[in-house]
Structure 1
């Protein structure tokens, strides 16, 4: 980035502007809409790793590093900030809706959006069911985030539009597959891997990398190479998330311990557990998944996944996938600085604790 401040600071400034403008419009509609806007603003500005904007920035850096000449005054800076802000708003939509689907109580150590509104409903003694009200409000707030993301994306260079449209469909389709797999008790590795590809890998890394590269003027071959790298890194990101969802420290992750076990998510870790466990242990794991587990139940489910070799298998997948991505990064026809930036991000997302 050019200028005195980096992308995270510029993102925060831009997002504040988006929410200030939205609040002004909401004031002409009613206090409830202003309140919803404020809750969304607090959610977006109150945390997050900004993974997607960072990969978009890395993609643009790779594109610039591959060019013989990059203008000193790069006219894509403002577009990169708007792209990053739009990606963060799509992420907000996904997280708010995901928390409803998973019936999660906390996110980043705070009550989830639907729980915030359920508590307000109960505290004010309003009519109807507080949980139903909270979920309804959160659905609409997530929709607002997606609409405002599209508003920002509409102002980006037209060459980004096809990838943006593809990314939106992929992440929603991946979420849909995730729900169906869970309800249908699909225990196959193939089903879990397909969810990773569409719900996380493309949306978290591959598409942001691609968007940044296209913004920076990359040719088709370079965009394709980055997309492949991004799918590898996105898969590794989700595999680490699967492990954290079972073994993570809630004081670090901001979510309850063993949350994925309680919700019964059919992750690669769980699929590995079913395929590697002895029949009796696999049956026991099935009875534990998707139930309100106490400490003993959580410990037993973790033990099955560890003793079966599922945990080690997922760690090995992360290592292998990361190695593949790093090798491909080394071969990119770009500057050393751009390769180092992307490799650093690769290590950050695969060796994180939250």
Structure 2
């Protein structure tokens, strides 16, 4: 037995959920096209493809192995869709299947796999890991298709977004307004279908009785967290609530948990990892996951579309309350930089923002120092995330691939040349030493409102903020680890800065960090 496996888990058992094991189903029913349906039947119940059933083969190319399982599962789902209705299958189900097959790096499935291997999972865990990895890809299809509808995005992965393709399929058959509503409705249904297929796949996957309740609980929580994070995103757009605390909370829910932490926890659960190992993986995943979202925020504004696969500035045009924007507003407010505040408030939510207008936004963002601070924090989060795994007895066949994957996940697709200077060492800027055990002063304080455009601080508020920010060194590494720390503390150099204003920005950031650190 591997060091990270244990017969008894040292964590509280979650509430009981239906066991993820095969159960007798009703008699198979004949479909008009000859396919059979019902529980326990169809390709989804068959053995894995022959070339996906060997550990070493999967280790050599995890995305390909997951892709083969997806091909098998989707063939079964499409047969059922055709049996239900040929038009529905051709218009909707086939597009969902094609979108899922065309997925990129299968990052979530890879995280699950290498977590499982690092926790000593062997041949008995191979089939459940690949099938749940395939389910994660379907869940990602749901998230992306719905996201494109909510953002009114017309392109995805270098081609038309799914809802836009459906709208264009019927171009000329109805007025533009009706066509737009049809496309949005069809996109919602397509995402729902992907979610249903993902849930079906998890429910049909044989998992041992010890792991099944935990796997089901993790899957359930992940779906809820994904929706919660997306709701915070759209609600923040509506209310123009550019709060650093809220932006980080949304990033934690919709990226850190869904994209990294939960896949790692699923792999650990399937491998039967002990409680200490699982907690270390989750803490590492949360740090890396937030770094992943911070990188995404930077790439939306500064990234090269040829490398990121999407156009620049969509977050600005949609008025999304990202951490980068919230931090820039907080710094500009603290520094009294009225030009930066004017440009940002004027541009956020402007769907018609021109390339020249976006360039002006980039200019004022750089002037606040926010991009450099975010860049620096990404490095610190990755270092801290990997430090959570120091001393954890991970299996050698999985440890190095997992650590490398975590690094690549956080770095994403950075710009070819960084378009902003590094942090310049203003008082309050976190040191850029990247030492995993070094932490900026962080803590929780009620001295500042959790909004980037809070009012001027009094001397008393500044003192309380500084005191609160200095109390948190002993919190570093606890739970999932802090997320932002004092990377907000150095305001723009283009305007005079009072110590009170700088302390307020520090307190805003520290409050956000504390909430994420303890899982709130």
Q: Deviations over 1:291-344 (max 9, x none)?
A: 121111110111111111010011011011011012122332213443312220
Note if 1:91 corresponds to 2:159.
no
Once the two structures are superposed, residues 254-297 of structure 1 have per-residue CA deviations (whole angstroms, 9 ceiling, x without a partner) of 21121111111110000111011213311220110111211111
Q: Please say if residues 121 and 133 of structure 1, whose CA atoms lie closer than 8 Å, have aligned partners that are also in contact.
A: no
Moved more, 241-250 or 139-148: 241-250
Correspondence for 1:100 among 146, 149, 152: 149
**Structure-2 residue corresponding to 1:42:** 98
How far, CA to CA, are the matches of 2:177 and 2:76 in structure 1?
32
Match of 2:108 in 1: 52
Q: Secondary structure at the match of 1:318?
A: helix
Aligned 8 A contact 2:343 2:360 in 1: no
SS at match of 1:330: coil
Who wins on radius of gyration, i.e. which is larger? 2
2: CA distance, partners of 1:3 / 1:251: 34
Cα distance, 1:183 vs. partner? 1.0
User: Residue 191 of structure 1: CA displacement?
Assistant: 0.5
Q: Specify which structure has the higher proportion of helix.
A: 1
What is the deviation of 1:3?
4.9
Q: Does 1:261 align with 2:316?
A: yes
**Correspondence 1:244 to 2:244:** no
CA contact (8 A) 2:118 2:396 kept: no
Residue 32 of structure 1: how far off its partner (Å) = 2.2
Farther-moved stretch of structure 1 (3-12 vs 149-158): 3-12
Deviates more, 1:137-146 or 1:342-351: 342-351
Whole-angstrom CA distance in 1 between matches of 2:95 and 2:203: 24
Checking the alignment, whether the CA contact within 8 Å between 2:320 and 2:349 is kept in structure 1 is yes
Q: Is the contact between residue 330 and residue 339 of structure 1 (CA under 8 Å) also seen in structure 2? A: no
SS in 2 for 1:28: helix
Distance 2:144 2:223 in 1: 14
| Cα contact 1:329–1:342 (8 A) shared by 2 | no
Aligned to 1:4, the other structure's residue is in SS state helix
- Considering Cα pairs closer than 8 Å and 6+ residues apart, tell me whether 1 or 2 has the greater RCO: 1
Alignment correspondent of 2:230: 175
Q: CA deviation at 1:124?
A: 4.7
Q: Does the residue aligned with 1:202 lie in a helix, a strand or coil?
A: helix
1:316 aligns with 2:376: yes
How far apart, CA to CA, are the structure 1 residues paired with 2:84 and 2:280? 47
Equivalent pair of 1:182/1:264 in contact (CA under 8 Å): yes
Partner of 1:223: 278
Q: Write out per-residue CA displacement over residues 194-219 of structure 1, whole angstroms, 9 at most, x where no aligned residue.
A: 00111110000000000000101101
**Where does residue 305 of structure 1 map in the other structure?**
365
Structure 2 unaligned runs (5+)?
A: 1-53, 415-520
Instruction: Report the Cα offset of residue 128 of structure 1.
Output: 6.6
> Are residue 62 (structure 1) and residue 122 (structure 2) matched?
no
| 2:340 aligned residue | 281
- Contact 2:96-2:190 within 8 A present in 1 as well: yes
| 1:248 shift after superposition | 1.4
Pair 1:116 & 2:196 matched: no
> In 1, distance between residues paired with 2:100 and 2:166?
16
1:13 matched to which residue of 2?
A: 68
1:349 offset after TM fit, Å? 1.5
Q: Is the 8 A contact 2:163 2:186 kept in 1?
A: yes
Q: Is the 8 A contact 2:296 2:412 kept in 1?
A: no
Distance in 2, matches of 1:214 and 1:29, equals 36
How many residues align? The count is 347
Per-residue CA shift, 1:140-193, capped at 9, x if unaligned? 010000001000111232231111111111101111111111111111110001
Describe the shift of the 1:128–1:245 C-alpha distance in structure 2 as closer, same or farther (beyond 3 A).
closer
User: Once superposed, what is the RMSD of the aligned Cα atoms?
Assistant: 1.7
Q: Distance in 2 between matches of 1:16 and 1:117?
A: 23
> Where do residues 68-87 of structure 1 align in structure 2 (5 Å cutoff)?
74-87=123-136
* Aligned structure 1 segments of 4 or more residues deviating by more than 2 angstroms: 3-7, 123-128, 335-339
CA 1:324–1:127 in 2, change beyond 3 Å: closer, same or farther? closer
* Offset from partner CA, 1:35-73 (integer Å, 9 cap, x none): 211111111111322111011012102211xxxxx66xx
- Contact between 1:332 and 1:339, CA under 8 Å: does it hold in 2? no
State whether residues 316 and 349 of structure 2, in contact with CA within 8 Å, keep that contact through their aligned partners in structure 1. Answer: yes
Structure 1 residue 129 displacement after superposition? 1.3
8 Å Cα contact 1:248-1:258 kept in structure 2 = no
